[in-house]
């Protein structure tokens, strides 16, 4: 295994308190890498809306993990990625790892910005996370026993965030992942009804899946007080991306790590054991 030439510099982990970033920061630290968390609450603070603050965040950084919230498909994402990559290059960053979205033309436009920057790069391309049901937008549905989504019977290869973090960490820490696009999926195509069945078995209680009309779902999300960008993202994902374009398995985890990805049933069992779905 080739150790990265970046190990003597800092790695900036954007979204370092989020689902993937938190795990990547922990893994890099365990490997002995210096890590700087990129978030609004960190010091120095990182905010995608404040370019002037990026310089301090990039000081002494040789590698960066880029995740854009809530999604690279958001209007303005390509401009933000282009500006950040430009600053990173000017500040001496040598390696970029981008978390991208499967089947999203807008995300692939951001990938091209990273790929043509003249730096070492790796793309990790993912779609639906297992952890959306335990750490994300759908946890309350699981707690309430009804997953109400406009997903029909469309299948998706849900992927575990720990697998994403392992792939991204390897790409940040090891040289031989340079120039790779790792499209990562779990090992199985699943409908949301399959998800509900696995969650029922893991929690020991009945969790139903109910297909709802798309417009009604988006309207309810807006009424619930969800941030506008989150409502936009949910609308986009269910109206545009969940159309079968990603209904196939890929070998990104296997190619990057030499092992199989984690199955949703195993994730559900492990998550249930933490008590995350236990009623208060």
- CATH code of the domain containing 31: 3.40.50.720
Report the percentage of the chain scoring pLDDT > 90. Answer: 90
Say whether pLDDT at 124 is over 90: yes
Say whether pLDDT at 189 is over 60: yes
Q: How confident is the model at residue 84 (pLDDT cuts 50, 70, 90)?
A: very high
| pLDDT the model gives residue 229 | 87
| pLDDT the model gives residue 7 | 53
Residue 92 inside a domain? The answer is: yes
As a whole number, mean pLDDT of residues 183-192 equals: 98
Number of structural domains found in the chain = 1
**Listed residue (110, 41, 43, 102) closest to 74, CA to CA:** 110
Contact 2, 14 (CB under 8 A): no
Residue 77 inside a domain? The answer is: yes
**Listed residue (94, 30, 44, 102) closest to 64, CA to CA:** 94
Residue 236 inside a domain? The answer is: no
Residue 202 inside a domain? The answer is: no
**What digits encode the pLDDT tens for the residues 196-245?**
999 999 999 999 999 999 999 999 989 988 888 889 988 999 999 999 99
Q: How confident is the model at residue 1 (pLDDT cuts 50, 70, 90)?
A: very low
**What digits encode the pLDDT tens for the residues 55-72?**
999 999 999 999 998 899
| pLDDT the model gives residue 280 | 60
3-state secondary structure of 192: helix
| pLDDT the model gives residue 172 | 98
| pLDDT the model gives residue 15 | 97
> How many degrees, rounded to 5, is the angle at CA 125 between CA 122 and CA 128?
150
| Domain span holding position 73 | 10-129+159-186+248-262
As a whole number, mean pLDDT of residues 100-127 equals: 97
Torsion of CA 115, 116, 121, 126, to 10 degrees: -20
Contact 105, 78 (CB under 8 A): no
Q: How confident is the model at residue 4 (pLDDT cuts 50, 70, 90)?
A: very low
- Please give the model's pTM, rounded to 2 decimal places: 0.95
**Listed residue (94, 142, 89, 136) closest to 278, CA to CA:** 142
Report the percentage of the chain scoring pLDDT > 70. Answer: 97
């Amino acid at each position: 295994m080739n150790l990265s030439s970046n190990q003597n510099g800092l790695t900036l982990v954007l979204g370092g308190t989020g689902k993937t970033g938190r795990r990547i920061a922990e893994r890099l630290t365990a490997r002995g890498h210096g890590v700087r968390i990129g978030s609004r609450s960190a010091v120095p603070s990182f905010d995608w809306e404040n370019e002037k603050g990026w310089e301090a965040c990039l000081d002494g950084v040789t590698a960066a993990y880029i995740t854009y919230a809530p999604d690279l498909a958001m209007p303005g994402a390509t401009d933000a990625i282009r500006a950040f990559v430009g600053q990173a290059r000017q500040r001496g960053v040598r390696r970029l790892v981008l978390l991208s979205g499967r089947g999203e033309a807008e995300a692939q436009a951001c990938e091209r910005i990273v790929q043509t920057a003249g730096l070492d790069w790796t793309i990790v391309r993912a779609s639906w996370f297992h952890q959306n049901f335990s750490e994300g937008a759908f946890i309350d549905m699981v707690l309430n026993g009804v997953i109400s989504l406009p997903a029909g019977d469309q299948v998706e290869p849900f992927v575990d965030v720990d697998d994403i973090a392992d792939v991204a960490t390897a790409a940040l820490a090891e040289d031989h992942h340079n120039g790779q696009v790792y499209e990562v999926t779990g090992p199985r195509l699943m409908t949301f009804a399959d998800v509900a069945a696995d969650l029922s078995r893991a929690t020991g209680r009945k969790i139903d899946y109910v297909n709802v009309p798309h417009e009604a779902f988006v309207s309810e999300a807006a009424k619930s007080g969800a941030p506008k960008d989150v409502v936009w993202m949910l609308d986009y994902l269910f109206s545009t991306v969940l159309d079968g374009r990603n209904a196939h398995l890929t070998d990104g985890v296997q190619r990057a790590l030499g092992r199989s990805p984690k199955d949703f049933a195993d994730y559900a069992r492990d998550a249930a054991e933490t008590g995350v779905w236990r009623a208060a």
